Amino acid sequence: MKALVLAGGSGTRLRPFSHSTPKQLIPIANRPVLEYVLANLRGIGVSEAGVVIGEHGDQIAAALGDGSRFGLRLTYIPQDLPRGLAHGVAIARPFLGDGDFVLHLGDVMLPGGIAGVAADFRAARPAAQIAVHRVHDPRGYGVVELARDGTVLRLTEKPGSPCGDQVITGVYFFTAAVHEAVAAVRPSARGELEITDAIQRLLSAGTPVRATRHQGFVRDTGRVDDVLECNRWVLDRLRTAVSGEVDDRSVLAGPVVVEAGARVLDSRITGPAIIGAGTCVRGCHIGPHTSLGRGCVLRDSRLEYSIVLDGATVSGVGGIHGSVIGRSAHVGTVAARRRRLFIGDHCRVEVDRPAEPAVRAARPG
C-alpha cells in the first residue's frame, strides 16, 4: 500500500510563521510535524509515499530528503496552488496507480499512530475507511453521521446544525474506487475540490464507506494554540537524556533533554522540557512544556509552556507563557515603561496592561 501526504496548504492561521516556513515543518518537541506523519505511515508498513507540496516545497524536500532515514521512499508532487484535498488526490493519480492507499494530511498530529484504522480497512476493505474522533463543538469540522456498526451514513462539511459529534481527523484509507468519485467532483463554494464531496459520491452510489473511532490524541496544527497543545502532549512522554553541559549551579527537575552541544549555566529547568543542540541557557528559569530549538541563546529570562525556534535570542525577559518565538527572532527589554516593537504582517502581540492609578485626580468644581 502506498501513502499520500498532503503538504501544500498555505497555513494562513499560522501567520507570520507560515510566510517563511510551511506549517507542516513547525516543530513539535523539536521535530517537524511531518516527521510524526511519516512515523505513522511507517508504523503501518508503508514503504513508499507521495508528498504533495506547494510554494515552500523546497524546504519540505530539504527537511525530509529521499525519506530513507524514515524507512520510506518519497516522491514529491508539486501543486501550483492549494485547490482542495481532492485535487491533491487527482494530481497524484499517476503516482498512486490503481492500488489501495492511505491519505494523511501533513498538518495533523496523531502521535499515538493509526494502526487501528489501518487494521479495520484491511479487514473489511471498504471503498473508504475514515478515521474520526469526538469533539465538543463539531460545527467547524467535517461531521460524519454513523450507523451503530461504523458504517458512514452521511458527511456534512462545517454544518450549522451538526448531526453528531464525530468529525474527520485527516486520515483516510481508499481503494481505487475513489478516483472516479474525485474526477466527478466540482469546486465547492470556497473554490476547492473537497474530499468530503468525493466520499459523499461514493455513499450516494451505494459504495461501502466505514469509519474507525480514533480514541487517542488528535490535533490539527493549523493554529498556535493547537501547536502548543501538541508540544505539551509529546513532552509529557519525555524521558531525561543529558548529552550537553549542565554546570554545578544548575538544577534539572523532572524529565529534561539537553541535546549534544547545548549548555545550561546557572539555571533551573523544570521538565518536561527540551534544550536543543547548540543552545545556551544562562541565568534562566525554563518551566514545563517548553521546547528550545537549536542554536538559541537565552539569558536572564523566565518562560514556560512555549516553543522557541532555531536561532532565537531571549534576553532579560520574564513571564513568557504560551508563546511561540520564531526562527532567529530577538526578544529583549528596553527602558522601564517603554516598549519598542518591530512587528510584521499578521502578527499578534500581547503586553501587560499598565496598572490604574490608585487615586484619580478630582474633577474641577
For 298-355, what is each residue's pLDDT tens digit? 999 999 999 999 999 999 998 899 999 888 889 988 766 666 656 555 566 666 665 5
The band of 363, judged by pLDDT with boundaries at 50, 70 and 90, is very low
What is the side-by-side order of every strand in the sheet holding 320-321?
A: 251-253, 268-270, 285-286, 302-304, 320-321
CATH superfamily for 238-331 is Hexapeptide repeat proteins (2.160.10.10)
Q: What is the predicted pLDDT for the residue at 361?
A: 46
- Summarised one tens digit per residue, pLDDT across range 163-176 is 788 899 999 999 99
**Cα–Cα distance list, 38 to 69, 101, 105 (Å):** 10, 14, 11
Distance CA 107, CA 315 (A): 31
Q: What is the pLDDT of residue 105?
A: 96
Cis previous bond, 288, omega within 30: no
CB 279 within 8 A of CB 327: no
Q: Look at residue 364 and tell me whether its pLDDT is greater than 60.
A: no
Pair type for strands 152-157 and 142-146: antiparallel
2-229 matches 238-331 in fold: no
Examine the pLDDT at 142 and tell me if it is beyond 90.
no
Provide the residue ranges of all domains of the chain, joining segments of one domain with +. 2-229, 238-331
Kindly report which listed range (55-69, 134-148, 196-210) carries the lowest average pLDDT score. 134-148
Q: Residue 337 phi/psi, 5° resolution?
A: 65, 20
CA pair distance 234, 29, nearest whole angstrom: 7
When pLDDT is averaged across residues 258-276 and rounded to a whole number, the result is 98
Confidence class for position 12, pLDDT limits 50, 70, 90: low
In one-letter notation, the amino acid at residue 132 is V
In contact, 88 and 79? CB cutoff 8 Å: yes
What's the grid cell of residue 284?
534562566
Q: Which CATH number fits domain 2-229: 3.40.50.150, 3.90.550.10, 3.20.20.150, 3.40.50.1820?
A: 3.90.550.10
Query: Which range has the worst mean pLDDT, 54-68, 87-101, 152-166?
Result: 152-166
